[in-house]
Amino acid sequence: MSNYSETDWKNIIYRGVESEELDYKAAIDWKKLSRTGKSKFVRHCLAMANTKGGYIVVGIGEDSAGQASLFTGLTPTQAKSFDPTIIGNFVNRYADPEIDMTIERPKIDGKRYAVFVIRPFSNIPHVCSYGLNDELREGVFYIRTADAASRGAHRASEIHAIVQRALRNQREILGRMIRGVLYENRDVPIENATSHFKEDSSNGKQYFLRRRSPDDAQKPAVLMQLMICPSQYTKDRFSLSEIKRAVGNSSSLLSESHFVTENDMNESYFSNVALRSLPDSELKMWQIFKTGMFHYISYWPVPDKKIKYQYILRFFAEAVNFLARLYSELGYDEELLDITIMLNETEDIELCEAPQSKSKYLCRIPDVRIKLERSAADLASGYIEHSARIIKELCERFNFPDGKHENLQKNIISYLEKRS
């Protein structure tokens, strides 16, 4: 099996919501499918490869409401029918160039599934090379849309987006080759990556604290930091222009955003080592370094020494969604990312307006620290689950019981859909 862990597969299989990067299919036997039935899989593979990549999970049916919630899994015969070589050859008979894909058959909670793992094109997009009934049309570029449809690109803007992505990929490949020749040793990973990332974030914190502070010194505020660090420290892994382009492609343009906003981008600028945003009117700063590290720092106002549950939910729903997109854009699909969240000055801060809240929920420790390790692909496929996990862990530090989060994942989905 690939480098995915059991937790990774659970996040993909149990997410329950189809998207650009995720599609569910009921249990079937590949060998018993007609050519038309198989061609539907080809269309999904072409579409995902031309968009952001993704997963097709086989073994999950829909309930009466049309939700992918029937986790039936596959019989041994059905699972065996999903032979990677046979299916890969069939799919790539209709794709030019061939799609980079694998088929995994993880066993989760005693049930076997087949998962198509489709990677986005790295050089040029995939065109359908042969037609097949009404499912596939020769010469068409298929794309994956936000409403989880796989269809041909027929709008000028969609064709333009594919062409621009191909040109960007080729420029970045050429750029890496040139940088490798001109700066041989600069792209070599440096040892003791953790200490170097820690030094950069510490310098960023001091820079922020010298320039921003709450207006009223008597008004309580919590200092919050969010850091994402790759596993390797490479000084010039990205150019500043590559970073800015990745941020632009990752922004969801949420109105009244609690995280990275359009105004942040308008006020951002390049330092020697990072793209930095330090908005004049806000108590926050974020930087994305050429090493690939993201550092966000801000003061969270806590009037009357209280912090709202809804603020925490909205902030981390947006944050995880944005960071999943950002690190996918930067190409960290497989590499593990170290995620750290820190809150300072939290002792005796109350969590208020929480669901089922009849008691006082106080943080009894001066500092809160949460850590997890995930790949960009994992974040992208399970950003709802990861948002919920962070929110739950943070609320635990305020002694808020885990069982009192009412419909947390649904509330995250609802909020993101409403704000987009």
Structure tokens that stand for 237 in this block: 């892994």
Residue 86's nearest CA partner among 131, 40, 30 is 30
**CB 336: neighbour CB atoms within 10 A?**
15
Span of 44-53, 181-190, 311-320 with lowest mean pLDDT: 181-190
Per-residue pLDDT band for 391 (boundaries 50, 70, 90) equals very high
E-strand ranges in 113-202 read: 114-118, 127-128, 142-144, 150-152
Residue 168's nearest CA partner among 265, 65, 92, 241 is 241
What's the pLDDT at 6? 67
What mean pLDDT comes out for the span 340-363? Answer: 86
What mean pLDDT comes out for the span 156-176? Answer: 77
**Cβ–Cβ < 8 Å for 103, 119:** no
Span of 3-12, 128-137, 247-256, 267-276 with lowest mean pLDDT: 247-256
Span of 59-68, 170-179, 363-372, 388-397 with lowest mean pLDDT: 170-179
Q: Which amino acid is at 95?
A: A
Instruction: Record the pTM.
Output: 0.57
What's the pLDDT at 1? 41
E-strand ranges in 63-135 read: 68-71, 95-96, 101-104, 107-108, 111-112, 114-118, 127-128
Residue 286, beta-bridge partner list: 277, 296
Separation of alpha carbons 8 and 342, rounded Å: 24
Residue-wise pLDDT tens digits, 273-321: 999 999 988 899 999 999 999 999 999 988 889 999 999 999 999 999 8
Residue 16 exposed, middle or buried by CB count within 10 Å (0-12, 13-18, 19+):
middle
What's the pLDDT at 3? 52
Separation of alpha carbons 138 and 130, rounded Å: 5
**Cβ–Cβ < 8 Å for 317, 387:** yes
What's the pLDDT at 347? 92
What's the pLDDT at 392? 93
Buried-state track 119-147, b at ≥16 Cβ within 10 A, e below 16: bbbeeebbbbeeebeebbeeebbbbbeee
**CB 39: neighbour CB atoms within 10 A?**
22
What's the pLDDT at 191? 67
End-to-end, the C-alpha distance of the chain in Å comes to 36
What's the pLDDT at 420? 45
Tell me the domains of the chain and their CATH numbers: 6-170 (3.30.950), 193-419 (no CATH)
Separation of alpha carbons 335 and 264, rounded Å: 28
pLDDT of 174 > 80? The answer is no
Query: Helix 309-329 and helix 383-396: axis angle, to 10°?
Result: 140
Per-residue pLDDT band for 253 (boundaries 50, 70, 90) equals very low
Hunting for tokens 């969609």 — which residue is that? 158
Q: Of the spans 214-218, 231-235, 374-378, 401-405, which averages the highest pLDDT? A: 231-235
pLDDT of 117 > 60? The answer is yes
What mean pLDDT comes out for the span 362-375? Answer: 91
Separation of alpha carbons 369 and 391, rounded Å: 12
Separation of alpha carbons 321 and 386, rounded Å: 9
DSSP string, 342-380: EEES-TTPEEES-TT--S-EE--SSEEEEEEEEEHHHHH
Pairing of strands 268-270, 274-277: antiparallel
How much of the chain is in helix, strand and coil states, percent to nearest 5?
40, 25, 35
What mean pLDDT comes out for the span 233-252? Answer: 86
Q: What value does the mean pLDDT of the chain take?
A: 86
Residue-wise pLDDT tens digits, 257-283: 678 888 888 889 999 999 999 998 889
What mean pLDDT comes out for the span 90-115? Answer: 93
Residue 387's nearest CA partner among 65, 9, 36, 11 is 11
What mean pLDDT comes out for the span 28-52? Answer: 94
